[in-house]
Every structure is written in C-alpha cells, then in structure tokens.
Structure 1
Amino acid sequence: MVNPQHDSTGGAGPSEPVNEPVDIALYGATGFVGALTAAYLAEHAPPGVTIALAGRSEAKLAATRASLPAAARDWPLIVADSGDPAATDRLAQAARVVVTTVGPYARHGRNLVASCARAGTHYADLTGEVLFVRDSIDRCHGVAESTGARIVHSCGYDSVPSDLGVWLAHAAASADDAGGLTEVRTLASLRGGVSGGTVDSLRGQLDAVRADRSLRRLAADPHALSPDRAAEPTPSQPADAAAPGRARDGRWTAPFVMASHNTRIVRRSNALLGHAYGRGLRYGELQNCGRGPLGAVTAAGVTAGLGALLGAFALTPLRPLLDRVLPAPGTGPSERTRERGWFRMDTDARTGRGARYRVQVSGPGDPGYAATAVMLGESGLALALGGASLPDRAGVLTPATAMGDVLVERLRAAGQTLSAERIG
C-alpha cells in the first residue's frame, strides 16, 4: 500500500512495504499532544491493534517512537506533508483510521480530510474551528457518505464532553419517555493550562472573519454546522455569553472560551439525528466560577481576560507581544502540571414534559492535554474496533453521531466519568 520508513534503530528496513493498512495512523505524532496520544495508545491499545506514526520528519518520528513504551518499538513511520495532496492520499490509503493533531486545521487539515473521505478511511481530529468544520462539510460530506468514511471532528476536550453529555441526557429522557429536550445548559469547571494549538486556531479564525464579512456572519450563526440551515426548526438559541452571570443554582458564571464551537457541534448532532434530541432544543455553555464574593470576582476576571485577549488579537501591533507570552503551538505544560489538572462538565437538561436530568462528564488530567489525549486515543480505537456496534452512518459527523455509546463505554473504561440521572 505504502512504504512507511523505519530508521535503523529498530523495526523493518526502509525497503519493507506494509502490504495491509494499519488500524490507526497518528498524524502529528511529533507534536506535544500528538506525542501524548502516541504514549496513550502504546499503553492502552489492545494487543493486535496495528499503529503507525506519521508526520513530516522521519528523524523526529523515529525519536518520538524511541521515547515510547516497548509496545511501540515496531510501529511503522509514515512521512507525509499536509500541504501535498498526493502525500495525504498515500497516508489515507495506509490506514483504516487516521487520527490527526496537526492544526490549525484550516491551514493543515483540508487535504487530509478530503483524502480520507475519498479513500473511505475514518478520520478524527481535535479542531475547535467552526469555519474549518463548515468547509469540511461542504466539500466532503457527500463523498464520505458514498465511501463509508466517518469524518469526525472535535474529538478532544473540544467537543467530546459537551457532545456526549447531551447524548446521555437524550438517552435518559428517551428511556423514561419524558419528551424531547428543551432547555439544556452545561457548566464547565476545569483546572489546566491554555493550549498553544487552541490559541493559534483562535488567531486564525479571527483573522478569517475580519477579512471576510460573510465568514463573520457564518461564525456568528448558532446553526453554522447544520446539514440544512433553512430547515432548522429549533427556536432562537441562547447567545454565547459575553458577561458574568448566575447559574440556576446560584453559582457565578463567565463566558466559556469553547462554547461557540461546542454548542454548534451539539446542534449538528441533533440535526444529523433528525432532531431526535428535541425540535425545541436550546443549548448553551458557560464557565463555572464558584459561589459567593470570590466567585463573582473570578467571573469578572475571566470575562475581562477573555475580552482582553480577543481585543489584543484584533490589534496587529500587539501580535508579537502575545506570541511571547502565550504558549506556542506544539508546546505544553510539565507532566506534573498535566497530572494535577482536571475537568468537569455539568449539564442540566429539561424536557418538554417537565422532567429534569443531571449529566456529568469529568475526568483527571489537564483537559487540553492529558484528558484530550485520552479522548482522541479512545476515539481512534472506537473507530478502528467498533465495527457493527458503531452507529450506521457515514459522512462528516460529530463524536456522538459517529461513535455514540461505543465511545461512552471506552471513556468510562479509561477512567473518565460519564453519568446521567433524573432529578425532577
């Protein structure tokens, strides 16, 4: 199929071809999150699962492989440049599933998505870029449907906890015959650092919408990722928060930096499912800042900080300063900092018949790094191993619509909490 290259320190020689596609090719394995995902797969992939490391530099790939547990010693290496369509075609043909951490995806992901869609190869990424996902839908959804490829965006902290949280709320309400979901809110609590890749993606999206007014309107549309915008039946959606507020239980809240992407992924899931969650679904996300005076101060600080960051990005002369103080793409926090991190997404869901559900999706580890590596690794394994247990659909999908309960169970087995209970 392709000739993945091996260095002389182990494994096959450069002339030995791989005659069958590997189960998973991890593209971007030499980056920070890519290396974390590679380590996770080396430790947790079941015996017999074949995995390759992919990227632009054979030497860096070999160094990454050498740093991994012994299970990865014979993993093949695939050299591919995201800017070369022929190279991404070869990568897609070399694997049953391609998992990629190479962003910003609008810059580095378009060829690879198209290659996987044409080849019928499943694909998972970490994007939080609404404009990239919309472009992927427009260019590749029909092709992927025809080949059977599942193109699954946002398989990390963007947007697995949000998407699966509402999926679980819907499942619980359906089991109780409690009616469709109506008002659903998620409060995000977390301890962790800011991802350099997330910052770079945010910068790229802001540049795009400033340059093109039509993209600005698209990014602001709450149903920007709908498969049929004109047929979208839901009522007006809650606006993405721009100021501190109070949750129903009295906790102070602030705008959540990932809300604008996560909410659109959840709404796309609902639409792809024929609005099974509810035709009256209104979904929003906020960041939990705690209670009392300290919570109020924290909410004000988070809101001001986010506003200042967005404002600074809009001023070109400040870009060099931001580049010096913000994390660079491909970098991340220390192992100790990653281990001390955690995340928790609390979803309050109400139905048209008055039932109320509480959903928790949570886990250990810095959400943008350690926990994301678990989510992405398990997404790749779900796509590779799920078989007939996966939902019967193809195209440009979401974590919930592509993997559903298969991913829920894998994440539970990996130590994350995903629970739903009726509380009213």
Structure 2
Amino acid sequence: MGDGERDYDVVLLGATGFVGRLTAAHLARSAGEGARIALAGRSAERLAALRRDLDVAWDTLVVDVADATALDRLAASTRVIASTVGPYARHGLPLVRACARAGTAYADLTGESTFAARSVREVHDAARDSGARIVHACGFDSIPSDIGVGLAHAASGGGPLAEAVVQVRAIKGGVSGGTIDSLRQQLLDARNDSSLRRTVANPYALTPGPSRRLPASSRPRGLRLDETSGVWQAPFVMGAFNQQIVQRTSYLGGWSYGELMRYREVVDTTTGTTGRIIAAGVSAGTAALVGGLLFPPTRALLDRVLPAPGEGPSEQARQAGRFTVESDVYPVDGAPMRTRISAPYDPGYDGTAVMLGESALCLAFDDLPDVGGVLTPMSAMGEALAERLRHHRFTVETTPLPAG
C-alpha cells in the first residue's frame, strides 16, 4: 500500500495516558495544517474528551493492543505510529510486528533493554525488507545521548572514537510513572531469567557484538571527577540502556564509532568533598531503587510513593523543568568535539512529549535515509530531527571541546 492510500500520516497510540496527552497537545500545536493525525487508545470516551480538550477534528480510534488483527489494520492505515503504551515488553511486540509487515514507521519511548533486543532479533529483517523504520527510545531516553554522540562524531570527521562521555550537566523534573513501571517490569522479568539479566548488562545487546571486546580494565565504571570543572559525577541511571542505543547506531553505520569505543554516561553533582559524597549517594540511591523494586516488601513501599502509570506532576511543577546534556567524543585521530542538547522542559514529561511528537512528524514528512529495520533516533533521523527540535526551544549545537 502506498503512502497516498493511507488514511493518516501519524497515529498516536496511548494518547490518553499522561505523556500521551502531552504528546497529543504538542502535535496539535505543531503538526501543521494538512497533517492527518488520529488519536488511538482503549477508551472511546477518554479519546473523545481529549479531542474536545485539544479542540481538533482528528479521528479517534479504539484499539486493543492484544488484538493482532486490529493492529494490522491500524498499521496499514497510517504512515507512522507513535506509541506510549508500556511496559513495552508486555504490550509492544505485536504492534512492532504489525508495523514491520505493513512498512509503517514506528516510534516509542521504551527504555527497556529486553524489549529492544527482542525487537531487533525478531523484527529487524522484516522491517528492512518492507522499508519500515522501527525507532525505539524517542524520548529523553535516548535522544540526547544518541543524537548528541552522533552529531559530535560527524563533526569530528567521522572516524573511530577512542571514547564518548555523555554528561547530564543539569536536570530538573520527574521520572514518569510509565518509566517506573517499565523499569519495574524489566527487573521482575530478569530476576528469574539469567539471559535477560545478561541482556540488561550487555552494552552490545542490540548488536551482534564487536569482533573484539574492551579489556575489562578499560571499561568505565564508578564515580568520576571532571578534571576540567572539578565536579564529581555519578553513573546516570539510564546510561546502560542509552549506551546500547548508541552502540547500535555505531553498528548500523558499519561500527562507525569504532568497535572498541569506551562509553560513559554520568550526571553532575558538585565540587569537593560534598560533591563526592553526593555522587556516591546518587550511585547508591540508584542501586537501592533497583534492589527495592525487586523484592515484594520494599516494592510495595516504593509503589506508594513513586508515580503510577498515567500519573505525573502538575503543569506548574513541569514548567520549572529543564535539562542540559553534553556529549563529548574523543577521536582516535582528530580534535575532540562536544554536542550540547538542552531545553527548558521537564525531561520525562514535556521534553519527552516534544521529542516523541517531533520524531513522529520527522518520520512522516522529512527526507530521510532510505533504509528500513530496527533503527535508532540517530540512524533514522539524525540532523533532520535535531533541526526540528531547534524550532521548539531546544539548543542543539556542536563545537570543539574546550581545552582544559
């Protein structure tokens, strides 16, 4: 079926969830006249209410993600599906399969290694053959990391990298209930399955793996002191997953970053002894959250205080959100480069809604590389997505790395 025969340009599935509503609102502001958008979800009443709130004339589609026939019809009706329906390991694969069969582009917000790895294993070949661009991780996980490293690498000359360091310089905002639920489900699935645990821990989980492995002594780990700023840094909670996405980008480009690129993803604290203590606390707190979600007594306590799927902060709280992420690359030969991505948005909510919405529009309307398969934000959209984000209060700029 050609694109001209499809009913819609973009279908937003999960439109009535918290991040779904924010994404729908962004599309209402930004899709442009003539864009054919539809809102999809489980409840006709909630979809109708959302359409009234947005004051749009878009179609609403009631869809059961467990109904494979309905998903095939949905995928055949549109050029792009953007999905906020998680946990993706539980709900995502039937839709991804339908998109791969129909040659339909797909974008989601997953941060689940196990789901992304299974998607690569089961769907990549079919999507490549049909021309479907299947693009996971189109929110704060993992666009700043993936696009940041990709643009810095291109500016450095495109040769192999010795190292990439992604640094979360500032972050203010919440982690969405959907993200927490996805983390919880992935941990529970992996608890009794050693193969899933290996997937979560493997930086090359979304690739066949390089021909050689990094020596264990050279793998970055633990706390880090930024010698230029004197700021102590802790491992970033989503760094392991983001690294998998970045390594897949490298693999899809013929290991363009180099098979043995070292990768580190960290979050700034502050300077001196205080900074080291805070960094250690951040690292320990991340481990405690993971451990707490694994065991029923502590999980029950955490469930009382962590946001549930479909929940989120007030508009006033979200308006105070912001983030800045800097991706530094160090070529084997050539000058180090830095890409800075920042925006005055809560990263897990409004920022992610903009990133997912613009990813869907980019996949629908922009002149992109003619390649299908299970891709990444950088390999599928790259600079085209960066340019779209710049029009929505994002700073995306690449410069030589300051000497220091």
Query: Which string of whole-angstrom CA distances, capped at 9 and with x for unpartnered residues, describes residues 23-42 of structure 1?
Result: 00000000000000000000
Q: Could you state the TM-score of these two structures normalised by the residue count of structure 1?
A: 0.90
Following superposition, the deviation at residue 298 of structure 1 comes to: 2.4
Q: Indicate how the Cα distance of structure 1 residues 278 and 143 shifts in structure 2: closer, same or farther if over 3 A, else same.
A: same
Distance 2:271 2:334 in 1: 27
Distance 1:236 1:33 in 2: 41
Distance 2:126 2:176 in 1: 32
Distance 2:16 2:183 in 1: 22
Of 340, 345, 353 in structure 1, the residue corresponding to residue 320 of structure 2 is 340
Of 406, 415, 420 in structure 1, the residue corresponding to residue 384 of structure 2 is 406
The answer (yes or no) to whether the contact 1:37–1:377 under 8 Å persists in 2 is yes
Give the structure 2 partner of residue 357 of structure 1.
Answer: 337
Q: Are positions 1:211 and 2:189 aligned together?
A: no
The answer (yes or no) to whether the contact 1:181–1:277 under 8 Å persists in 2 is yes
Query: In the alignment, residue 235 of structure 1 is paired with which amino acid?
Result: L
- Percent identity of the aligned residues? 51
Query: In the alignment, residue 161 of structure 1 is paired with which amino acid?
Result: P
Distance 2:109 2:21 in 1: 14
Give the structure 2 partner of residue 124 of structure 1.
Answer: 107
Q: Indicate how the Cα distance of structure 1 residues 142 and 295 shifts in structure 2: closer, same or farther if over 3 A, else same.
A: same
Q: Could you state the TM-score of these two structures normalised by the residue count of structure 2?
A: 0.94
> How many residues are paired up?
397
Give the structure 2 partner of residue 193 of structure 1.
Answer: 174
Give the structure 1 partner of residue 22 of structure 2.
Answer: 36
The answer (yes or no) to whether the contact 1:360–1:420 under 8 Å persists in 2 is yes
Query: Which string of whole-angstrom CA distances, capped at 9 and with x for unpartnered residues, describes residues 257-315 of structure 1?
Result: 11011011000000000012234421110111122344233213212221221121122
Q: Indicate how the Cα distance of structure 1 residues 376 and 232 shifts in structure 2: closer, same or farther if over 3 A, else same.
A: farther
Higher relative contact order (CA 8 A, sep 6+): 2
The answer (yes or no) to whether the contact 1:196–1:331 under 8 Å persists in 2 is yes
Following superposition, the deviation at residue 368 of structure 1 comes to: 0.3
Distance 1:319 1:353 in 2: 48
The answer (yes or no) to whether the contact 2:220–2:262 under 8 Å persists in 1 is no
Query: In the alignment, residue 62 of structure 1 is paired with which amino acid?
Result: A
Of 89, 97, 109 in structure 2, the residue corresponding to residue 106 of structure 1 is 89
The answer (yes or no) to whether the contact 2:225–2:233 under 8 Å persists in 1 is yes
Give the secondary structure class of the aligned counterpart of 2:347.
coil
Query: In the alignment, residue 44 of structure 2 is paired with which amino acid?
Result: E
Of 286, 292, 295 in structure 1, the residue corresponding to residue 272 of structure 2 is 292
Distance 1:101 1:270 in 2: 26
Of 269, 281, 284 in structure 2, the residue corresponding to residue 304 of structure 1 is 284
Distance 1:297 1:342 in 2: 24
The answer (yes or no) to whether the contact 1:113–1:123 under 8 Å persists in 2 is yes
Give the 5 Å matches for 1:8-157: 20-68=6-54, 70=55, 72=56, 74-157=57-140
Distance 1:404 1:234 in 2: 27
Query: In the alignment, residue 411 of structure 1 is paired with which amino acid?
Result: L
The answer (yes or no) to whether the contact 1:270–1:276 under 8 Å persists in 2 is yes
Q: Point out where structure 1 has 5 or more consecutive residues left out of the alignment.
A: 2-17
Query: Which string of whole-angstrom CA distances, capped at 9 and with x for unpartnered residues, describes residues 37-56 of structure 1?
Result: 00000001121111000001
Distance 1:369 1:36 in 2: 7
Distance 1:184 1:129 in 2: 22
Q: Are positions 1:327 and 2:307 aligned together?
A: yes
The answer (yes or no) to whether the contact 2:111–2:182 under 8 Å persists in 1 is yes
The answer (yes or no) to whether the contact 2:151–2:382 under 8 Å persists in 1 is no
Distance 2:261 2:309 in 1: 36
Distance 1:351 1:399 in 2: 22
Following superposition, the deviation at residue 414 of structure 1 comes to: 1.5
Q: Indicate how the Cα distance of structure 1 residues 400 and 236 shifts in structure 2: closer, same or farther if over 3 A, else same.
A: farther
Give the secondary structure class of the aligned counterpart of 2:348.
coil
Query: In the alignment, residue 49 of structure 2 is paired with which amino acid?
Result: A
Give the secondary structure class of the aligned counterpart of 1:368.
helix
